[in-house]
Homo-oligomer: A and B are copies of this chain.
Amino acid sequence: MASRKLRPQRRNPATWTSCGVLALWLLASLPLNAQSPLAGWSDTPSREAILRFIDTTVDPTRETFIEPEDRIAVFDNDGTLWAEQPAYFQLLFAVDRARAQLAEDPSLESRSPYREIAADDLGALLAGGHDALFKLVFATHAGRSTEEFRREVLDWLASARHPGSDRPYTKMVYAPMLELLDYLSARGYRNYIVSGGGVAFLRAWSEDVYAIPPERVVGSRMELSYQAGETPLILRGDALAHVNDGPGKPVGIQQIIGRRPVLAVGNSDGDFEMLRWTTTGDGPRLGVLIHHTDGEREWAYDRESSIGRLDRGLDAAPENGWIVVDMKNDWRRVFPD
């Protein structure tokens, strides 16, 4: 036996070929194992169901195959792609902008919403309900050109820090969702943001942060107007043209995309109609709800929350076949390193 082991053997060509095939197989499978898809997701039924949907809809040998042009995936933003606590980040942007305006022109302090901002009394501002918030948004978002507004958003993102984590807001995105966006893109899906937030706010950074270009962002919109002249401008008016929330989401999708999505991901009841519209179409469809269950690594909230309330959606998920992602158990990590 010993001599047999030590004796060099002449391998026949078939053996060499087998070895080559094996080596190629090893080489091909190594990177796959090293970077298993959706590595930030735990090995749970949620991850498996999402991967199965994607893999079976891009396989041309299957009946569930979806033509590349129809591979439209829509994602809510606040609470789905990035965090939304302790308040929608766009609202925190508006507060910071109002503070900056006050610093430049202290006389603003005599009127709302600057009075409440100067007194650092956000409670009083929020007590004013939607009207007070709209006043704040219009004061900080309207009456400037699209390009000016874009620069203001980018300047803010470059310096502002999230009050709880002290991270830049663009690092408050969910790492497992970035992986999902990547995985879909690599398989010919076109990812869209469909957010209740303002479209111009989102477009300023969606390409850098999510690899989602401006033309694939659907959001709430202000009235715009064209200003002729030597250097034409597009000006942001002070009226809302479209509120992209609840039933406004399927409407926004139809207005901007003009196709019915096949995959929708949201986290709150504001996404209910988007998920219904997506998953009641013909052929394979997938609806996903991100359930905020992780009070340690993120925030735990659902049925009673004033921000990102998820109540109707949790009740409706089983009968609609929607996947409810349990952040605590389904995600290995929440934020990028």
Contacts and interface: CB of A to CB of B under 8 A. Distances in A.
Nearest to A225: B251
A24 to B, nearest CB: 34
A254 B234 contact: yes
A225 B247 contact: yes
Interface residues of A, number: 33
A72 to B, nearest CB: 8
Interface in A207-228: 207, 213-215, 217, 221, 224-226, 228
Given A232-B273, A250-B232, A273-B232, A255 B224 contact: yes
Contact of A228 (B215, B251, B256, B276): B276
A226 B258 contact: no
Given A232-B277, A277-B232, A203 B258 contact: yes
A226 B199 contact: no
A121 interface: no
A69 interface: yes
Contacts of A277: 226, 232, 234
A303 interface: no
A217 B259 CA distance: 11
Interface in A254-303: 254-259, 273, 276-277, 280
A135 B300 CA distance: 53
A107 interface: no
Given A226-B250, A277-B226, A277-B232, A255 B221 contact: yes
Given A214-B257, A224-B254, 5 more contacts: A146-B254, A213-B259, A215-B215, A226-B250, A234-B277
A231 interface: yes
B247 A228 contact: yes
Interface in A191-215: 199-200, 203, 207, 213-215
Given A203-B258, A228-B276, A232-B277, A213 B69 contact: yes
B273 A226 contact: yes
Contacts of A228: 247, 273, 276
Contacts of A215: 215, 256-259
A225 B234 CA distance: 27
Nearest to A218: B256
A193 to B, nearest CB: 11
A262 to B, nearest CB: 14
23 contacts: A69-B213, A199-B255, A200-B258, A214-B257, A215-B256, A215-B258, A221-B255, A224-B251, A224-B254, A224-B255, A226-B247, A226-B248, A226-B251, A226-B273, A228-B276, A232-B250, A232-B273, A232-B276, A232-B280, A234-B254, A241-B255, A255-B256, A256-B256
State the 6 A-B residue pairs at the shortest beta-carbon distance, nearest first: A214-B258, A226-B247, A226-B250, A224-B251, A203-B258, A215-B257
